[in-house]
Structure 1
């Protein structure tokens, strides 16, 4: 029988199987897997963008926050009190010059005696003709109708440790202690002959002065009210009251310098209340005193 020359007939050895053995197949699979891994790594490496490589990446710079705009302050700016303008006193009289006096009055804080001084008219003194104490009533009267005359009312107001005569409803003052504003000393008051005059009641704006600065034109009722107004009255050292007489600020001031501002402020208040005027010299003297204490308030009641 003829054979096909292209057909190969395999001859199996005794005790063997055809094809690769089990160990050979495992070896072949391992080789194929290794090649696949190598090919995968190579393809990945070739396709990787260098800019995305971990070694090529840069650490981003920390962001800087935008500066915040400060909110406008709602608090009012601090202000300082204006410094009073310096004034010059006349070396001979010790008084302000006319221009300095006017400037001091115009710059005075509202509600002060110095500011009120601007409201007082300035003109010459009228003649004293016709003046008499009785034009202002006959002695001390009970204008407030409290059952007690004005002298005792003022003593009770201004004295301390006061004692009253029994049976007078605490009206008649028999003793007490006065802190005298004019001298700055303490005076013991004892009612009686030869002792009562140690403490007297002063008209801060003297009755005669008022007569010459406007009171001539008043009716009797207004003059009596003026003479008994507690705003115009002070219990003071008797001898100093006599020394003052009917002097105004230009001619007399309390020896106690610490009280001069309050004294002149009270004179301004009295004259303003009753529409009295001041003389030029008096006005300048008032301005001179009050310029040293521009915050001195204007008294409003006795």
Structure 2
């Protein structure tokens, strides 16, 4: 091959390489533009939808002043005894979410549902989501309502907060009822800002709404009327991954650790409703049994249900609860 032919071949090779690189660059630019356009659409749809939902959001319950902010509380029923219900982590609208159970309890009890800061229609807060602060805020809300003697009922993580609560205010709590409540020995994984910061971006850009759109409806087939489901959907989108709840997630590991040495007072009646088949651990039932082994009035009821067992088994829970309370009169 002559020098001229070799040079021509090299030129063609370089030209071909440039052409390929040019095409690849165009593809990369097109992909970047498509991604940015997709993000812009998701962001815009979320902003418009949030504005529309804000107008359709209905008020319920009443506000009480706690630590200079407004906490929402729902009170139903006229019974002589009071049941105070506390939600699990991330429950978007506790007063609506507990509606099936409230309907079963309210004919016999005054039912008070607390919506902690960052939940339901309550304000958010920048205050640390330690167990001590959460317990203090709940107690302040009840004091504002002049509720001084009550049965405490907590779902999931509220079981952990309630463990501290009943030790701080033993003369106020008549009994504790756990709804698949958390136990200190089965701790959540540690979460810090390296996890929550990307989630904040995810929420602020509108992808939380897209995630919900692609997820299964948690209330499908359950006893919630159409209006309640619509409001639940609105409040799920409003509160999902909000700053207060993400702060609570960051505090969760230390809250579990702080509760490891706590026990229920032996003379406090304790009734647990526990899912019979936990999807992750085989220690769920044994660890709940340990919590009541020293209790003078301790009982556990196993239900063939998921973690949100009060949604699907409200009638059964209410019946067993009433029987349990009659037994400790």
TM-score (norm 1): 0.22
- Please say which structure displays the higher CA radius of gyration: 1
Larger relative helix fraction: 2
RCO comparison, higher one (Cα < 8 Å, 6+): 1
